[in-house]
Structure 1
Amino acid sequence: MKFFKVIRGDIKVIFERDPAAKSFVEVILCYPGLHAILIHRMSHGLYKRGWVVLPRVISNIARFLTGIEIHPGAKLGKGVFIDHGTGVVIGETTEIGDNVTIYQGSTLGGTGKEKGKRHPTIGNNVVISTGAKVLGPFKVGDNSKIGAGSVVLREVPENCTVVGIPGRVVIRDNKKILAFDAIDLEHGKLPDPISEELNSLNQRINKLEQMLKKVERSDKDEVV
């Protein structure tokens, strides 16, 4: 019963987060992210019971059918939504919390070749945007957002927005944990720290040029 309750939750979040979802039949038949998660939940159950080869075969079949690779050892919470999903890779020791949204092309990968925990832990209500790479055995805090194309190599506190290569925290709000129905999916509206820094440098250059002109004018006045 618990398994089917989790599956109902996986289907429910699609209607809550994807305005393109029109009907139950459409979601069941046409959402590869849902297919990948459902197959993973079965392979993960076998993996926890000590099976190795069969769960890997099942995950490879799921990758062939959906374009999404989830290692059977990965732990997924409730309400995980993989949108479109092509190119998503989730490694063996990854742990994903509840109500997480993952967009296409994202990687939750490991670093090094040591055994044990080597993939990230994703908190609750996290949004991982298109093409983002989260690499290493650290945690991404609750309610955080990883910007499109970012490469995150170190821990992310709660309630943060991370952008860039390597990823940098550009917003830290410290608000209370978002309600389930208030997950911020505006992953296309993110600040650009490089642009902001260039604007800041440009303003300083303009200021220095104005100061230099004043000095030049004062020198001319003295000569006269």
Structure 2
Amino acid sequence: METMTFEELLEINCYSKDESEKAKAVELLEKWFGCEIQCEQIDRSVLFAHHARGCTIVAAKLSQGVVIYQNVTLGSNMRYNNIQNNWENMGSPILAENVIVADGAKILGPVTIGKNTVVGAGAIITKDIPENSIAFGVNQYKSKNPAYDLVFKQPMPSGEEIIEVDRQRIREFDNQ
């Protein structure tokens, strides 16, 4: 296992029936990539940008076409009610088809993020978000403009294309 790629370790972590093999994959994912990934259901098409660096992913379900960027947290938002002596708000997020979660976003609690939704960078979400939305800030959202795909769409521009755009921007900046 010491020479496995992120994708190979993820496969073992999410789908292996061998608990000792799975435990080793969990350990190596955290050691090499600084991520923790625990999902009750995860579709094989789910993508993690930048090898899920800095992510803590504890989710009920990640559906087909989900893309998660770096430093994202999906997890619980439980609280203990001392008066009634029980836990409340139990459960983990469900991300529907084609949800994109941008850098540093936090999705906490038993919430559902509707299909084709983009959760913006740094967003903090503790409430359900309807499909075809852009979620941002703290529990804010607006309808997604169907004329645009945001953050992730194949084919992505090449690194060379992005570098050339940045070089042009630098030339324009330096000539001001």
1:75 is aligned to 41
Q: Which of the residues 8, 12, 22 maps onto 1:42?
A: 12
TM-score, normalization: structure 1? 0.55
**CA 1:183–1:98: 2 relative to 1, 3 Å:** farther
TM-score, normalization: structure 2? 0.68
2:106 is aligned to 133
Supply the AA of the counterpart residue of 2:118: K
1:154 is aligned to 127
Q: CA deviation at 1:79?
A: 2.2
Q: CA deviation at 1:66?
A: 1.6
2:139 is aligned to 167
Gapped runs of 5+ residues in structure 2?
A: 80-86, 153-176
CA distance in 1, matches of 2:144, 2:13: 37
Q: Which of the residues 24, 45, 56 maps onto 2:23?
A: 56
- State the structure with more CA Rg: 1
CA distance in 1, matches of 2:105, 2:49: 13
Q: Which runs of 4+ in 1 moved over 6 A?
A: none
Q: CA deviation at 1:103?
A: 0.9
**CA 1:36–1:94: 2 relative to 1, 3 Å:** farther
Deviation per CA, 1:108-163: give whole Å up to 9, x if none: 11122759x62101111111000000001121010001011000001111000011
- Determine which structure has the larger strand proportion and give its number: 2
CA distance in 1, matches of 2:110, 2:135: 17
Higher normalized contact order (CA 8 Å, seq sep 6+, divided by chain length): 2
CA distance in 2, matches of 1:139, 1:43: 23
The count of aligned residue pairs is 143
Q: Which of the residues 46, 54, 62 maps onto 1:96?
A: 62
SS in 2 for 1:156: coil
Output aligned runs, 1:1-224, within 5 Å. Answer: 35-46=5-16, 49=17, 52=19, 54-71=21-38, 73-84=39-50, 85-91=52-58, 93-112=59-78, 118-164=91-137, 166-172=138-144, 184-185=150-151
What value does the CA root-mean-square deviation take over the aligned residues? Answer: 3.1
Percentage of matched positions with identical amino acids = 23
CA distance in 2, matches of 1:75, 1:38: 18
CA distance in 2, matches of 1:40, 1:82: 10
Conserved? CA contact 2:94–2:110, under 8 Å: yes
CA distance in 2, matches of 1:104, 1:146: 13
CA distance in 2, matches of 1:37, 1:120: 22
CA distance in 1, matches of 2:47, 2:15: 19
Conserved? CA contact 1:67–1:86, under 8 Å: yes
SS in 2 for 1:155: coil
Conserved? CA contact 1:74–1:90, under 8 Å: no
Supply the AA of the counterpart residue of 1:44: C
Supply the AA of the counterpart residue of 1:67: G
